[in-house]
Amino acid sequence: MTAPMFGATTHKKRAVHTAAKPHSKTGAVARTRSTSSSVRYTTAAYHPSSRTSTRVSRVGLRRHVAFSPWTEPNYADSTAGDLVDGEDLMVRRAAVQALGPLNGSIVVTDPQSGRILSIVNQKLAYKSGFQPCSTIKLVAALAGLNEGVIDRESLQVTGHRLNLTDALARSDNSFFANVGNKLGYDRVTHYAKLMGLGEKASTIDEEQAGRWPEQPPAASDGGVGMMTSFGLGILLTPLELADLVSAIANGGTLYTLQHPRSQDEIAQFVPRVRRHLEVAPLIADIKPGMMGAVEFGTARRATFDPNAPIFGKTGTCTDKNSPTHLGWFGSFNEVGTKKIVVVVLLTGANKVSGPVASGVAGAVYKNLEQEDYFGLGTASVSLMSTACCR
């Protein structure tokens, strides 16, 4: 890897100026048809277990049927078909219990070696990916810092004064849209691909790579700013996000993830380094924002112990390709003798969001702490059933 990766920077720029904030999700607008020939547009609240909702108008008692844009259910058996040979069963049990009946996937890795400790819902994790939503802001932050688009000292004006820590913690869309517009498509692409986006993250045969778009979204759709704030046009897999977060957690080593399938494979495990990213100084600048997300920002549901800090980034959006609503959370801990990365992807409809995903991840960490997995001497009541690991 060459120096332009993250070492040498281009000319530093002053604080990025205000950009129009991309439209946020303000509720789905559904087209409704009445029993008469008239057509109405109303904001519909969708039933979580059905693609349709029925309402009766007070005017003339006409029946309206609103169609949900989402096809995925909120709840499912997310363990069906998983192969657990070689997994860390304590980690898997903690993850399965944290996910409960929600429809989604959890990937847990060791950031110091690239070993996959557990994958809940392997079928979903191996798919070709989903829109990364606001988790793409981690890429934008690292690229913007290295290129001098984000100044470590100055504040950026987005209708109010905001620094990088608050922008990450609160997932400010206009901040990162400005970063993307200043960087441009080519530079964003350069950094994203170096960080593993658009390529397979593991040695798993069934894994499909995500996708990096060959061109930015149209200007009418928000351009590069929508890529770096909402992940528009990008497909990211849970394994790719786990690999990226692992590199942040370990100081810049991007591993090829491996999922050992037997005790012999675990005993003979040898880490595979894909490349080293010179990001250590930049990580020190983004970690306060990732911790802030858990302490006071969009990932507050992940908090369970102030003495066991968690660093993370949420993402919430609708993937129109599926179509499904998405809740992402990529995270790592920094306490005890064992450090792990926990990535949660939830799919479904109105009950799915990044904050909900962060709560699931927080439960994983809590469950493992209760088992003293991190070597803190805090073991309490054992996790209940071993049947959960199927």
Cis peptide before 216 (omega within 30 of 0): no
What b/e readout covers 317-326, taking b as 16+ CB neighbours within 10 angstroms? bbbeebebbb
pLDDT at 28 over 50: no
The CATH T-level fold of domain 89-389 is Beta-lactamase (3.40.710)
Signed CA dihedral, 74, 80, 85, 89: sign only: positive
**Distances in whole angstroms, Cα of residue 258 to Cα of each of 87, 105, 278, 338:** 11, 17, 23, 18
What is the percent of the chain with per-residue pLDDT over 90, rounded to a whole number?
68
In three-state secondary structure terms, 223 is helix
* Per-residue model confidence (pLDDT) at position 351: 86
Tokens found for residue 53: 């909702």
Tokens matching residue 354:
């990044």
What pLDDT is stored for residue 68 in this prediction? Answer: 59
> What is the greatest pairwise CA distance in the chain?
73
Helix (H, G, I), strand (E, B) or coil at 30: strand
DSSP-derived letter for residue 389 is: G
pLDDT of residue 230: 96
Q: What average pLDDT does the chain have?
A: 83
The arithmetic mean of pLDDT across residues 20-40, rounded, is 35
Smallest CA-to-CA distance from 121 within 363, 353, 321, 345 is with 345
The answer to whether residue 169 scores a pLDDT higher than 60 is yes
Q: Which pLDDT score is estimated for 160? A: 58
Q: Is the pLDDT of residue 155 over 60?
A: no
Is the per-residue pLDDT at 15 higher than 60? no
pLDDT of residue 348 exceeding 50, the answer is yes
Residue 388's pLDDT is what? 53
What is the per-residue burial (b if ≥16 Cβ within 10 Å, else e) of 192-212? bebbbbbebbbebeebebbbb
Q: Is the pLDDT of residue 19 over 50?
A: no
- Specify the pLDDT at position 375: 87
Domain edges within the chain:
29-67, 89-389
Give yes or no for residue 282 having a pLDDT over 60: yes
Task: With CA atoms as reference, report the closest residue to 337 among 378, 297, 298, 306.
Answer: 378
